[in-house]
Amino acid sequence: MSHIFLLILCMGAVTYLPRFLPLFFLSRKQLPPWLTTWLDFIPVAILSSLILPALVTGGSPRHLDIVKPELAAAVPTLIFALKTRSLGGTVVAGMGIYWLTQRIFG
């Protein structure tokens, strides 16, 4: 087996373990209520921590950059999502809004 395939397999293994182990161990356990509550906040926390830096930072090394079409398009996309509560609709509308925003940013 060539070097690159072995490397990919190792990458796969170290990616898989953190995905699998909590599922395996926690799905069989009765979790204490505080942990259930804590985990209930994880989705909203993860989503926000993924989205906001992508909208307001840029460059390498990273720095604040708020003049971005990504950020300008995020506000109407957010409003659209709040009003319609439609995932597919927001994806399509977001694409259109971003397309327009890029035109404006030139």
Residue 80 CB, nearest approach to other proteins (Å): 8
DSSP code per residue over 11-60:
HHHHHHHHHHHHHHHHTTS---HHHHHHHHTHHHHHHHHHHHHHHHEETT
Instruction: Name 63's bridge partners.
Output: 58
Q: Residue 8 interacts with other proteins (CB under 8 A)?
A: yes
Q: Residue 105 interacts with other proteins (CB under 8 A)?
A: no
Residue 106 CB, nearest approach to other proteins (Å): 13
Count of residues in contact with other proteins, rule CB under 8 A: 73
Q: Which of 5, 67, 104, 106 binds other proteins (CB under 8 A)?
A: 5
Q: Site mask, other proteins, residues 38-77, x = CB under 8 A?
A: xxxxxxxxxxxxxxxxxxxx---xxxx-----x--xx--x
Instruction: Name 58's bridge partners.
Output: 63
